[in-house]
Chain A
Amino acid sequence: EAQVTQNPRYLITVTGKKLTVTCSQNMNHEYMSWYRQDPGLGLRQIYYSMNVEVTDKGDVPEGYKVSRKEKRNFPLILESPSPNQTSLYFCASTREGGEQFFGPGTRLTVL
C-alpha cells in the first residue's frame, strides 16, 4: 500500500529540547515536503526536497532543519523548540504530475 508515515503522531515537549519527527514514503517519489497547519492559516510549507541531498526553504523555515540522505526518508528537526512551534505537522510526498500524498500528521506541543 502506497503511504507516507510519520512518527511520532503526538509529542509534548519542553522549550529547548531537541526533537526529530520522522517521515518515510514507499512510493519512490523524489519530491517531499513538510508543512505546518495552524488555525486560520491553512497549511504552510516549511521545507521541501527535490531529491536526495537537495533541500530548500519553504515559506516558514525559521527554527527548523531537514535532511534528505535517502530518497524514502525526510526527517524534520527542531534543534531548540519554542512554544510558537506548537502546531500540527504534515509530511508530504509528491509524485510526478503534482499529486501530493500526505502523512497522518504529528501534533506537537512545546511547553
Chain B
Amino acid sequence: DQQVKQNSPSLSVQEGRISILNCDYTNSMFDYFLWYKKYPAEGPTFLISISSIKDKNEDGRFTVFLNKSAKHLSLHIVPSQPGDSAVYFCAASGSSGTYKYIFGTGTRLKVLA
C-alpha cells in the first residue's frame, strides 16, 4: 500500500514557465514533508520541507504548498530552468523526531530550453 503517491511519472515544461509537481498521501498522521531532487548517478539532495502547521513554504524559486484536508502537497518551481531537469521525490514523516520517512515513487521533470 503506497502511503505517498506521485501519480505523474514525468512532466515536461518550457524554460521560464512554472513547474508544478504533485504528491498525495493517505496517512493523516504524517506531519512533516520534504522534497528531494535527484540527478542521475547521484544521491537525492534536499530541496525544501514543510511542517503540517504551515500551508506554504518558500525558498527562492521553490515553493511547497500543503493542503492537509486534501492530503496533498505540491512543489512549484518558478521560473523553471534547464538545470532543474531531474527526478523529484516527495517524502513524509509521521513521527517528529524519529526521521522515518516514506518516499513517493518520483516524478521526472524535463525543462525544455
Chain A residues closer than 8 Å to B93, beta-carbon distance? 98
Instruction: Determine which of A58, A90, A99 lies in contact with B100 in the assembled complex, contact meaning CB atoms within 8 Å.
Output: A58
Q: Whose C-beta in chain B lies nearest to the C-beta of A104?
A: B43
What interface size band does chain B fall in? 20 to 34
**B41, A102: Cβ atoms closer than 8 Å:** no
Chain A interface, >50% SS class: strand
The answer for the CA separation of A102 and B37 in the assembled complex, in Å, is: 11
Q: A101-B46, A102-B44, A104-B41 are in contact. Are A31 and B99 (CB under 8 A)?
A: yes
Instruction: Determine which of B6, B41, B45, B49 lies in contact with A98 in the assembled complex, contact meaning CB atoms within 8 Å.
Output: B49
The answer for the CA separation of A17 and B92 in the assembled complex, in Å, is: 35
**B99, A42: Cβ atoms closer than 8 Å:** no
**Contact mask A30-41 → B, CB, 8 Å, 1/0?**
010101000011
Instruction: Determine whether B65 belongs to the interface, using a CB cutoff of 8 Å to chain A.
Output: no
Instruction: Pick 10 A–B contacts, CB within 8 A, sort by A.
Output: A33-B99, A41-B105, A42-B103, A42-B104, A43-B91, A44-B103, A45-B100, A50-B98, A94-B99, A98-B34
Point out residues on A near B: beta carbons under 8 Å: 4, 31, 33, 35, 40-45, 48, 50, 58-59, 90, 92, 94, 98-105
